[in-house]
Structure 1
Amino acid sequence: MERWIQTCRRELLDRTLIWNQRHLLYALREFETSYNEHRPHRALRQAAPLRPLVDPRVDSASIASFEIRRRDRLGGVLKEYRHAA
């Protein structure tokens, strides 16, 4: 829990001006979603807690054809990168 609080403070609260309780709860919900569904964790071999591990056997020739899309959350404070389908 201490790690989560430290990460939340460093990556969200230190970069965001919180207007009121409603805005704080919204920002924390968005951060929690990003933390659990997108953000890679070293202890999980770069997978997110609520996302399955990616198959590491990828052909190096096909990596060049990957298209990456960025999704901004919370006005750009949090950025998510995904392979385009």
Structure 2
Amino acid sequence: MMVRLVYLIGTRIFAWLLLMSRSSAAKNAEILILRHELAVLRRQVTAPKPGWPDRALLAVLTRLIPQTLRERRIVSPRTLLAWHRRLVKQKWKQPPPTGRPPRRRKSAT
């Protein structure tokens, strides 16, 4: 019991020291990300499904926080890459050919 208490106090102190060493821009970006994630989650009854503006805002703000904190967001780097792949796939999809398909030639028998 005492070891657990010492461990918890130690981790909190190190977390506080790490927080003090970060820049204010990173802290502000993290606060904005957390607020936006909460807004998205409050709108959802089931699993979160952020829309295009939500995705864009979270993608931009995620770049401003340290790498270690990016892993714990609802928008992970893997999610950002999946969104990008989907966007590129939709952008470069070939349109269906227009007009009537060519007729097959009859073979002379």
TM value normalised by structure 1 = 0.31
Q: Which has the higher helix share?
A: 2
